[in-house]
Structure 1
Amino acid sequence: MSAVHRANTWDISDSENESEDIKSSSCVTLDQNTSINESNTSPPSTQAEDSSISADGVKISGRRRRRREEVLEEREAKERRREEKDKLKEKKLQEQQRRKEAAERLNLLKPENFIKSLTAHIHAVLLQDAGCDVLLRNLDGLQWRNQIENQGLPNSIRWTQQALQQTEDEDKNEVIEEDQVLMVISHNELEDMVMSHKTVTNQSALIGEMYEGSESLLNHLYKYLTTTAGKVVTILAIISHQQRSGSWGEDDLDLHLSQHRLDTEELLVHLQLYWNVAVHFLFGWQEVTDHVVALTKALSKRPYKALCGAPDLGFCMNGSWSAGVRVDRDGHGLAQVWTRQIQQLNRVSPAMAKAVTTAYPSPSLLLKAYEELPSEEERRRLLADLPVVGGAKERRVGPDLAGRVHRLLTSQNPHLLLD
């Protein structure tokens, strides 16, 4: 009991109160430390969480930015590819248009099409001769354009062509005048020209000088040649003759030129040397018509021939029949070249050339075969018995082609005729 009492007494003692105060203070201290620790521990976790979120946010935004840049780059690349494709397509269309225009121009320059753009201008003085109807009927029958005019050189026939429209700046209706001019005169007009020339010569005038007081055709011709540069005038003298002779003799000249043969020859030489004017003697308007038709056809062929001679067109047109053989780097195509070389000889068909090149695929093999034979006769007849495949019956190359091929490959004479 005393122990219990002492315990109870201890419970209510002053020291107990102090200890309780200490406990309470210690508890308070622990509680504060706990709260401090909790306060110290909670912000780092929150900051770390915030930092991780912000870091994740930066990563996400960086990925989005990179993704956006990649999308922009892909879009720009697509735009560039689209622009390149459009440029290539436009270039291809322009090339096709250029080829189409070139083909159209080439087609227009062909003689059968270009002759439709030519117009024959006939001087009205020629209509006074009834024989001119032959010329007009032939031109109308050929459906060639002709026009009657009352200007320029009298008794003349000239040509103009409709200019081809090359560019948009050029005038589509531009007319180009040809340099060829025909002057059709009769027998009496030729005599007048001879007398006019003789009169000027007797007056001691300079060669080629015009006589102002004369109104003859010769004076008109001199004026035309003086004022118009680049013209080529040809005089067609119509001689009335029932029977055509092959060449002019002295009797014919004396008959048709009324004893003015020497004066006429002097005029012809003068026109040829000083004015570049040639004189042709024809029998009737039918021959004049034939000359006009031939000259018109020659004028229609001239642009196409000039274009074929240009370096941009080349000699051969495109096509398998005229194109060369393509030889690759590996030698593919040489056999066809060898066949073509044999086929260039006269009277050699593709089957005969194929027979030679099949037996000897290259020229070196054929030369080696020639060297192995002892005599010249055997070499010439080496290819004669080769069979030619094709045709209704069997045949051989023959000694003729065999000899020509031998001369082609073994001859040292560059002027030797192979045929």
Structure 2
Amino acid sequence: MSAVQRAHTWEISDSDDESDENKPSSSSGTILDQDTCRNESNTSAASSSSSAPVEDTNISGDGEKSSGRNSRSRRRRTREEVQDEQEMRRAAKEKRRQEKEKLKEEKLQEQQRRKEAAVRVNQLKPENLIKSLTVQIHAALLQDTGCDVLLRTLDGLQWRNCIENQDLPNSIRWTRQDLQIEDEAKNGDIEEDQVLMVISHNEFEDMVTSHKTVTNQSAPIGDVYEGAEPLLQHLYKYLTKTAGKFVTILVISHQQRAVSWDEDDFDFHLSQHHLDAEELLVHLQLYWNVTLNFLFGWQEVTDHVVAVTKALSKRPYKALCGDPDLGFCMDGSWSAGVRVDRDGHGLAQVWTRQIQQLNRVSPALAKAVTSAYPSPSLLLQAYEKLSSEEERRRLLADLAVVGGAKERRVGPELAGRIHRLLTSQNPHLLLD
């Protein structure tokens, strides 16, 4: 039993061994197949890797050929050329920066100029300029008690005034501060050309008498006469020494003013010195440019001083507004002006307005002329081409006027006026 079992065991073991022997063969075959596949894959990979360097070699060869062509066409820059190019770029950048700085500086300067011009215009306005005016009164006028009226009025208006001795006795003159000098401590006063000389009626009669008695008829008119009354002699010397002054003599009379100032009042106040006074007045006005005003009391003298002060404060601003360099022309049709651009746009409208300035010329009539001849030069050329004067005068007569209920023509009358306007050499010729 045991033998049988043992035999059976061996059989089983033999079969197992056989099976085990058979297994390695199958597994080996499988291993061989896998090795074969691996070898084939390695062979294909090797073949591909062996072919890749060939392609790389070809590409590198082509690159060397192309780089060679580029090296032939474009030469490599040297260090000096690179530095020169950098210097040029830096110079161009610096130039642009300087131009930008220059434009900025010019803009700031223009703004500063405009600001200064605006400040100057504001200072020249009468309400501001009058604060810089100083009324200088001669000390001799303080001897008259009526001068207090003038001093109180100037103080009430808060105007500058001072008392000082001047070259011309009994005089009142004006000075104003120079606006171009900002430092008030510096002597930048400008003396006005208006001077007042205040005298009494008795002093004026003495001047008339002195002029009549000491005038040397053989001497040239206008000379300073020796021996004249001191007040008149001071006036002559002052006018001789100072040029460009306009002196006005204010003669004060303490009598009451009549209702009207006529020739009878003048004769009354001058009494029997009427003719002699007229001679003195003519002499002073014609040869010395001196005028005389006859006033009653210091109140009228004060009013005259106030009026002259206000007029002097307005004069610089009026002169500035009258400057042709100041562009104050308004835009708009209501201002009766035509705007002309730099390219010439608007000249046709100016030419139409020029024709329309003639009497009894409507815009339609003027438009008819300017449409046929867009400029004065073209119309003058058309006049020159005609042989007779009659043809020139009637050149525009048959032009049709557009507008209105019925057809019209310019007509010979307007055509003749336009011809005289453009061809006449007489500035005083009446066109109508």
CA distance in 1, matches of 2:360, 2:313: 34
Secondary structure (helix, strand or coil) at the match of 1:154 reads coil
Map 1:233-382 → 2, pairs under 5 A: 233-239=247-253, 240-248=255-263, 251-272=264-285, 275-304=288-317, 306-307=319-320, 313-314=324-325, 317=328, 319-320=330-331, 324-326=339-341, 328=343, 332-341=345-354, 344=357, 353=363, 362=371, 364=373
Distance 1:334 1:246, change over 3 A: same
CA distance in 2, matches of 1:284, 1:407: 63
CA RMSD in angstroms, aligned pairs only: 4.9
Secondary structure (helix, strand or coil) at the match of 1:194 reads helix
Q: Residue 130 of structure 2 aligns with which residue?
A: 115
Q: Residue 218 of structure 1 aligns with which residue?
A: 232
Match of 1:208 among 202, 209, 224: 224
**Which piece of structure 1 moves more, 115-124 or 100-109?**
100-109
Which string of whole-angstrom CA distances, capped at 9 and with x for unpartnered residues, describes residues 171-206 of structure 1? 76511111221011221221233344456459x999
Letter in 1 for 2:141: L
Q: CA deviation at 1:161?
A: 0.9
CA distance in 2, matches of 1:253, 1:337: 55
Q: CA deviation at 1:333?
A: 3.0
Map 1:46-195 → 2, pairs under 5 A: 62-129=77-144, 131-132=146-147, 135-136=150-151, 139=154, 143=157, 145-152=159-166, 153-165=168-180, 173-195=187-209
Any conservation in 2 of the 1:164–1:172 contact (CA below 8 Å)? no
Q: CA deviation at 1:100?
A: 3.2
Letter in 2 for 1:265: E
Q: CA deviation at 1:264?
A: 2.6
**Structure 1 stretches of 5 or more lacking a match?**
1-55, 369-375, 388-394
Which string of whole-angstrom CA distances, capped at 9 and with x for unpartnered residues, describes residues 195-232 of structure 1? 44456459x999523439x6x43344345445545433
> TM-score if structure 2 supplies the norm length?
0.58
Any conservation in 2 of the 1:118–1:144 contact (CA below 8 Å)? no
**Structure 2 stretches of 5 or more lacking a match?**
1-70, 383-393
Letter in 1 for 2:109: Q
CA distance in 1, matches of 2:326, 2:358: 21
Q: CA deviation at 1:88?
A: 2.4
Any conservation in 1 of the 2:123–2:129 contact (CA below 8 Å)? yes
Which string of whole-angstrom CA distances, capped at 9 and with x for unpartnered residues, describes residues 300-358 of structure 1? 34434555666xx4375355356741263xx643443344435656899xxx74x6677
CA distance in 1, matches of 2:374, 2:76: 78
Any conservation in 1 of the 2:338–2:349 contact (CA below 8 Å)? no
Any conservation in 2 of the 1:157–1:181 contact (CA below 8 Å)? yes
Which string of whole-angstrom CA distances, capped at 9 and with x for unpartnered residues, describes residues 233-261 of structure 1? 2111124343154443xx54442124222
Distance 1:85 1:315, change over 3 A: closer
CA distance in 2, matches of 1:78, 1:176: 52
Distance 1:62 1:274, change over 3 A: closer
Letter in 2 for 1:76: A
Secondary structure (helix, strand or coil) at the match of 1:101 reads helix
Distance 1:291 1:338, change over 3 A: same
**Which piece of structure 1 moves more, 409-418 or 113-122?**
409-418
Larger Rg: 2
Secondary structure (helix, strand or coil) at the match of 1:317 reads coil
Distance 1:327 1:229, change over 3 A: closer
CA distance in 1, matches of 2:367, 2:215: 78
CA distance in 2, matches of 1:194, 1:99: 56
Secondary structure (helix, strand or coil) at the match of 2:134 reads strand
Q: CA deviation at 1:75?
A: 1.4
CA distance in 1, matches of 2:143, 2:431: 61
Secondary structure (helix, strand or coil) at the match of 2:349 reads helix
Distance 1:79 1:171, change over 3 A: farther
CA distance in 1, matches of 2:133, 2:210: 35
CA distance in 2, matches of 1:157, 1:252: 27
CA distance in 1, matches of 2:146, 2:372: 66
Distance 1:298 1:418, change over 3 A: farther
Letter in 1 for 2:275: L
Distance 1:107 1:418, change over 3 A: farther
Q: CA deviation at 1:379?
A: 6.3
Distance 1:238 1:405, change over 3 A: farther
CA distance in 2, matches of 1:323, 1:89: 35
Which string of whole-angstrom CA distances, capped at 9 and with x for unpartnered residues, describes residues 52-94 of structure 1? xxxx9xx999455533432222112101111122122212322
Q: CA deviation at 1:131?
A: 4.7
CA distance in 2, matches of 1:138, 1:380: 71
Any conservation in 1 of the 2:252–2:295 contact (CA below 8 Å)? yes
CA distance in 2, matches of 1:357, 1:199: 70
Secondary structure (helix, strand or coil) at the match of 1:182 reads strand
> TM-score if structure 1 supplies the norm length?
0.60
Distance 1:304 1:356, change over 3 A: same
Secondary structure (helix, strand or coil) at the match of 1:282 reads strand
Distance 1:218 1:98, change over 3 A: same
Secondary structure (helix, strand or coil) at the match of 1:362 reads helix
Secondary structure (helix, strand or coil) at the match of 2:136 reads strand
